Amino acid sequence: MNESIDLLTKILDCTAMRQRVLANNLANANTPNFKRMDVKFRDALAEAIDSRGKESIRDVNPTVVEDTDAAATGDGNTVSLQKEIGEMGSNALLYGFATKAVSKKLAGLSKAIKG
């Protein structure tokens, strides 16, 4: 029970941070030589769940990395409006899923308490 709340909270933290980084990319869509950034947490989270036991989920920290695969335009900028908007949409969906799942968990708990 608690582990899944831990995991969902971690997902909420990571997606909230990713929203911030994606918003920053969009804000700098016209800044010369700006390189788009992204947040990595999926692999670390999956590894924590698979191999190191559920307690280690709390120790996973999202990392902000420069996206080196994105193509640069003439002014050295690697931000693409449509990519940021798309990523933002899927990120918001994941966030929405995690909030729904947390409320369901809490609703279940409260049902157990009240009987």
Partner 1 sequence: MPEISLMPSLGISASALDAETRRMEVIANNVANANTTRDANGKVYRRRAVVFAAQLADAIDSSGTGKQFKGVGVQAVVEDGRPMSRDYRPGHPDADGNGYVTMPNVNTLEEMVDMMSASRSYEANLAAIRTAKGMASQALEIIK
Binding site for partner 1 (CB under 8 A): 12-13, 15-17, 19-24, 26-32, 34, 37, 58, 61-64, 81, 84-85, 88-89, 92, 95-96, 99-100, 102-103, 106
What's the min distance (Å) between Cβ of 69 and partner 1?
Answer: 19
What's the min distance (Å) between Cβ of 80 and partner 1?
Answer: 10
Nearest to 44 by CA among 25, 64, 69, 24: 64
Distances in whole angstroms, Cα of residue 28 to Cα of each of 22, 90, 97: 10, 20, 28
Pick 46 or 104: Cβ nearer partner 1: 104
Q: Distance from CA of residue 9 to its chain's centroid?
A: 11
What's the min distance (Å) between Cβ of 57 and partner 1?
Answer: 11
Q: Distance from CA of residue 103 to its chain's centroid?
A: 19
Pick 46 or 81: Cβ nearer partner 1: 81
Helix 2-27 / helix 81-114 crossing angle, nearest 10 deg: 160
Pick 37 or 49: Cβ nearer partner 1: 37
For residues 64, 66, 72 and 75, what is the CA-based torsion angle, rounded to 10 degrees? 80
Pick 64 or 72: Cβ nearer partner 1: 64
